[in-house]
Amino acid sequence: MLNDVTFGQFYPAKSVVHRLDPRIKLLSLIAIIVLLFVANNFYSLALCAVIIFSAIIASQVPFKSVLRSVKAIIFILIFTAILNIFFHRGEHVFFEYGVIHITLEGIIFTVFLICRLFFLVMASSVLTLTTTPVALTDGIESLLKPLTLIKFPVHVLALIMSIALRFIPTLIDETNRIISAQKARGADFESGNIFKRIAAIVPILIPLLISAFRRADELGDAMDARCYTDSKKRTKYKKLKFGLRDLFTFFIFAAFIAGVVLFNIYCYDICPQIYEYIKVY
């Protein structure tokens, strides 16, 4: 059941992208996401594509692994595509029947939307494939640091994330063991109607919950024994290092942002031209 859940998506390699500071990777992803939705013409979108594909190539992660995450949203892609093609209104109508319209604007909008979602998922999977969950939480913690000024408990949040990460593999192992143990006692998780299946989960859930509480209890004691308090005097050992390659990435992204903005200003709507072009035929 859970055999295929390898924890996190991380793909081990030693590429430039792997070694980037997680903070710059997180910020870059945010930049890409914003730009994907700001991009209003094909040139901007193409520029985004260039950046994402060069990141994939630089990361040395096989393209297949990146596509695997796209697979997960393929249904949503098709669904939105159909909806948009048939129902998006516009002035250049190709076909009309009842509530259904197929318009040039609709088609172009759909293509844009699909590209955006597609690139978005690819860009985020580049992040998760090249960054360990631990590095990611370190990055998030560091980026959230300024929030301590408004008394947001950043280090508590970071500790919660860290403990969650630490216990996910342990609890997956435990779940697998309990499933096997109950299967060995003839429990059946794969057949029967939905109610039977839900009832079948009880023998897994209860031991798992009890064990999770027991672990939490013991962990609490262990943390207390290691002098954990909510004092402000806490120090932090791990410091992320912002290196040359991070600076370099920063400049690339600055250029990229500028590029998209410029394209947006000077090459805006290309829709009418296409229509003119089609009309000629």
Binding site for other proteins (CB under 8 A): 6, 11-12, 133-134, 159, 162-163, 165-166, 169-170, 174, 177-178, 180-188, 202-204, 206-207, 210-211, 214-215, 218-219, 221-229, 231, 233-239
Minimum CB distance to other proteins smaller for 92 or for 215? 215
Minimum CB distance to other proteins smaller for 91 or for 148? 148
Q: How far is the CB of 249 from other proteins (least distance, A)?
A: 23
Minimum CB distance to other proteins smaller for 24 or for 204? 204
Minimum CB distance to other proteins smaller for 1 or for 46? 1
What's at 254, amino acid-wise? A
Q: How far is CA 228 from CA 12, 167, 231, in A?
A: 33, 19, 8
Q: How far is the CB of 135 from other proteins (least distance, A)?
A: 9
Minimum CB distance to other proteins smaller for 105 or for 174? 174
Tokens of 245: 């390659």
Q: How far is the CB of 226 from other proteins (least distance, A)?
A: 4
Q: How far is the CB of 236 from other proteins (least distance, A)?
A: 6
Tokens of 90: 């516009």
Minimum CB distance to other proteins smaller for 49 or for 212? 212
Contacts of 267 (CB under 8 A, 6+ apart): 41, 43, 44
Q: How far is the CB of 15 from other proteins (least distance, A)?
A: 14
* Helices (runs of H) and strands (runs of E) counted in the chain: 11, 2
> What is the spatial distance between Cα 56 and Cα 13, in angstroms, rounded to a whole number?
13
What's at 92, amino acid-wise? H
Q: How far is CA 48 from CA 44, 128, 255, in A?
A: 6, 19, 12
DSSP string, 135-165: HHHHHHHHHHGGGGGGT--HHHHHHHHHHHH
Q: How far is the CB of 132 from other proteins (least distance, A)?
A: 8
Q: Is residue 61 within 8 Å of residue 130, measured between CB atoms?
A: yes
